[in-house]
Amino acid sequence: MKILGISAFYHDSAAALIDNGEIVAAAQEERFTRKKHDPGFPSNAVAFCLEYGGLSINELDAIVFYDKPLLKFERLLETYYAFAPKGVRSFLTAMPVWIKEKMFLKRLINEELEKLGYDKKKKVKMLFPEHHLSHAASAYYPSPYDKSAILTIDGVGEWATASICLGEGKDISILKELRFPHSLGLLYSAFTYFLGFRVNSGEYKLMGLAPYGNPSSPDIKRYEEIILKDLIDLKEDGSVWLNQEYFDYATGLKMVNEHKWEALFGFKTRRPEDALEAVHCNLGLAIQNITEEAVVRMAKEAKRLTGADYLCMAGGVALNCVSNGKLQKANIFKDIFIQPAAGDAGGALGAAQAAYHIYFGQDRKVTWHADAMRGSYLGPTFSDLDVALTAKKYKAVYTHYENFKDLAQETARVLAEGNVVGWVQGRMEFGPRALGGRSILGDPRNAEMQKKLNLKIKYRESFRPFAPSVLAEDCSDYFDYDGISPYMLLVHPVAESRRKPVPANYGSLDLREKLYFERSDLPSITHIDYSARIQTVHKDTNPRYYDLIDTFKAMTGYAVIVNTSFNVRGEPIVCTPNDAYRCFMRTEMDYLVVGNYIFDKKKQPEWLEKDNWKEEFVLD
């Protein structure tokens, strides 16, 4: 049974293909169109999935869209009615789009599929599960558990903003929902907006900013008290009630009432390029603390309702890896599985899986030793011929290696010398994290690496931390964690033995002074609070990446390298060898390794294309 899942028309459009329950392929549309968070119909992603599966679109048993558009339209109408006359501008902006396009989404989807060869006479079944069921399915069905609690938390689907479910065998039962306009995800996005970052893409910046807050500052407690007194009511079960007097997202064109928030917190709404000050960091830490508390409470409620030993998570808030690490440390469950494409892109996969197991009633195959995501390497791959043709196109100079061992040795050598390396190997990752398929790599021992990567390669804010990739069996040698984290979704502390003491006045230093203080023998991956967003690397899912790190370990004694996504600020992660070479040449990256080819920047012809990535990509 072959089922195609689709998510589209909001953000992070994607497609996923399953065959008899097995995940065949999945990819986000942005990687093909080069438009970050592309909301359009995922024609390219669908075409890739079908090609990889060796199918025509008419051979599918079902096509499944990740939410119910008419239920979402009902929520919009009821919300505008409830808040009337407030929200007239937003209503007049939204309604023409709904009436022209989204009200007739099934027809629109059919029209897009016909461009890909779909024959309506074949009558392939089209299904529309609810948004949070798609999230829940994306987490539970690929998990290694035959029974688990399922917690989904995001901004909003149709009505639900969070849900607690029980997954057992092939079935998912929804036990409890939090409903719009009350939403932990929208609360976090509101602070993302107020602190000067882009909603639906800048939330991870807020998470990275929070540790720069001073935990001993009285501002932290004061901000937390303001949030809990004036903005929200945090319930014992983790649900939140949001005071709509302070928020504009329900019917307005902004997330918050800026005038009221500025009066509440005592400073102006930060604009994207404004300097970051202590008040911004402290408020970021306050809302991160409250978010973590809410998630832990929701997880305890999930445990109470289900009695399950294991937890699965999805939804945009499940990408808050600091919160995930705290939840894991709380030991509410024996273990946690988080869908690596936890946001809306993963809804495409979950929709297909929900159709297979719930609608068609097909049983699950569970392997307790591993999840079914294949390391999340579910996208396109490219041959040596593709790389050679890209090199020919740009008259690029390269060295080709017949033996991967030699290529790994050379790559490890240039990393150890302090060079930055673009790394493109195998299938592209599904989800927002680069996991050694489309990555930029560096030496974590190098104290200048974080600054170099942020300012000269990624062209982004200097405070942003970088993640370590560590051989799975060596993880506890470097971090206070002895489990696995293959999808870079857990934050845990750097081991005490590797830390360097900070000065007594450290808490009162400004952001820049804190940023460049060397905190461990792995300075470029140790965040301001001695934490790290860990990726454990496993030989069975990514043997080439594993062997590279193993070679680096033999050379340096360290089984860790820096891993960040292969892109510049505002650009989607690269997909093709062509994308990779263009990004390589437009940055100060030193080497590019694609397949069995190594490109040395010093040997490349002058880059004559008069393009500007700042103009090509909208800054996030």
pLDDT band for 369, please (50, 70, 90 cuts). Answer: confident
The pLDDT of residue 316: 95
Does domain 1-141+342-369 correspond to CATH entry 3.60.20.10?
A: no
CB 158 within 8 A of CB 386: no
pLDDT of 93 higher than 90: no
pLDDT band for 267, please (50, 70, 90 cuts). Answer: very high
Angle between helix 384-394 and helix 577-585 axes, rounded to 10 deg: 40
Q: Classify 447 as helix, strand or coil.
A: coil
| CA distances to 68, 102, 176, 374 from 71, in Å | 5, 11, 18, 34
Which CATH number is correct for 143-338, 3.40.50.300, 3.30.420.40, 1.10.3720.10, 3.40.50.12160? Answer: 3.30.420.40
The pLDDT of residue 610: 63
Q: Per residue in 268-281, is it b (16+ CB within 10 Å) or e — as a string?
A: ebbeeeeebebbbb
The pLDDT of residue 108: 87
Query: What is the average pLDDT value for the chain, to the nearest integer?
Result: 92
Residue % of the chain over a pLDDT of 70: 94
Closest to 319 (Cα-Cα) out of 456, 168, 173, 206: 206
Which helix (H) or strand (E) segment is 347 a member of?
helix 344-354
Q: Cite the residue boundaries of each domain of the chain with CATH code 3.30.420.40.
A: 1-141+342-369, 143-338
CB 509 within 8 A of CB 277: no
pLDDT of 206 higher than 70: yes
- In whole angstroms, what is the distance from residue 5 CA to residue 11 CA? 15
The secondary structure of 271-293, three-state, reads: CCCCCCCHHHHHHHHHHHHHHHH
| Residues 585-597 pLDDT 10s | 999 999 999 999 9
CB 296 within 8 A of CB 235: no
The pLDDT of residue 89: 65
| Residues 322-359 pLDDT 10s | 999 999 999 999 999 999 999 999 999 999 999 999 99
Mean pLDDT of 69-97: 69
**DSSP character for 573?**
P
Which range, of 79-83, 138-142, 404-408, 616-620, averages the lowest pLDDT?
616-620
The pLDDT of residue 87: 65
**DSSP character for 565?**
E
The pLDDT of residue 122: 81
pLDDT band for 75, please (50, 70, 90 cuts). Answer: confident
pLDDT band for 253, please (50, 70, 90 cuts). Answer: confident
Which range, of 39-43, 81-85, 386-390, averages the lowest pLDDT?
81-85
pLDDT band for 447, please (50, 70, 90 cuts). Answer: confident
Which range, of 131-145, 207-221, 336-350, 443-457, averages the lowest pLDDT?
443-457
Structure tokens at 366: 């569970």
Does domain 384-603 correspond to CATH entry 3.90.870.20?
A: yes
- In whole angstroms, what is the distance from residue 101 CA to residue 104 CA? 6
Which range, of 23-32, 71-80, 299-308, averages the lowest pLDDT?
71-80
> Order of strands, edge to edge, in the sheet holding 421-424?
399-400, 597-600, 591-594, 421-424, 438-442, 560-565, 467-471, 531-537, 490-493
Task: Please tell me the total number of residues recorded for the chain in this structure.
Answer: 620
The pLDDT of residue 370: 85
pLDDT band for 217, please (50, 70, 90 cuts). Answer: very high
The pLDDT of residue 325: 95
CB 174 within 8 A of CB 156: no
Closest to 502 (Cα-Cα) out of 482, 484, 529, 467: 529
Which range, of 143-147, 438-442, 451-455, 483-487, averages the lowest pLDDT?
451-455
pLDDT band for 42, please (50, 70, 90 cuts). Answer: very high
CB 415 within 8 A of CB 445: no
pLDDT of 506 higher than 90: no
The helix, strand and coil proportions of the chain, stated in percent and rounded to the nearest 5, come to: 40, 20, 40
Q: Is 183 left (phi over 0), alpha (psi -120 to 50) or beta?
A: beta
Closest to 529 (Cα-Cα) out of 219, 276, 289, 279: 289
* CA atoms 365, 368, 373, 377: torsion sign: negative
The pLDDT of residue 501: 86
Q: Cite the residue boundaries of each domain of the chain with CATH code 3.90.870.20.
A: 384-603
